[in-house]
Amino acid sequence: MNRERFLELDRSGQGLTEEEWEQGYHWCLEWDDMLVGPGQEEALFCGCNHPKIEEWKQSEEGIRMRKEMEQRLEKLDADHFNEMFRQTDGE
Ligand SMILES: [Zn+2]
């Protein structure tokens, strides 16, 4: 799977080969049939039970990406909280 092929599939919304599916690429139900494959953050949320994606989630890369994403989300939460606190402060 290269970038061109990915974009072509993503644009056409069809034509995924069996080989590509076996690599983990699939139309993800979790993302409204968006093309999702291993190595994408979206795949961390994939609930399709695709065997390759499940395998990828447990891989070093998958675990690292999940950690990084969780750290980002925690930071977002903190920013959001601070924002809300500022808005209600002084009322
Ligand atoms: Zn999926």
What contacts 43, CB < 8 A, 6 or more positions away?
24, 28, 36, 37, 53, 56, 57, 62
CA–CA gap between residue 19 and residue 60 (Å, rounded): 23
Q: Count structural domains, the chain.
A: 1
**What pLDDT was estimated at residue 42?**
95
Tokens coding 45: 């949320």
End-to-end CA distance of the chain: 55
Residues at Cβ < 5 Å from ligand 1 ion: 28, 46, 48
CA–CA gap between residue 53 and residue 78 (Å, rounded): 30
Could you tell me the distance, in angstroms and rounded to a whole number, from the CA of residue 53 to the centre of ligand 1? 8
Model confidence at 89, pLDDT cuts 50, 70, 90, reads low
pLDDT digits (tens, 9 = 90+) for 34-87: 999 999 999 999 999 999 999 999 999 999 999 999 999 999 999 998 888 887
Tokens coding 81: 């909280």
What contacts 86, CB < 8 A, 6 or more positions away?
none
Could you tell me the distance, in angstroms and rounded to a whole number, from the CA of residue 55 to the centre of ligand 1? 13
Q: In terms of residue numbers, what domain contains 34?
A: 3-88
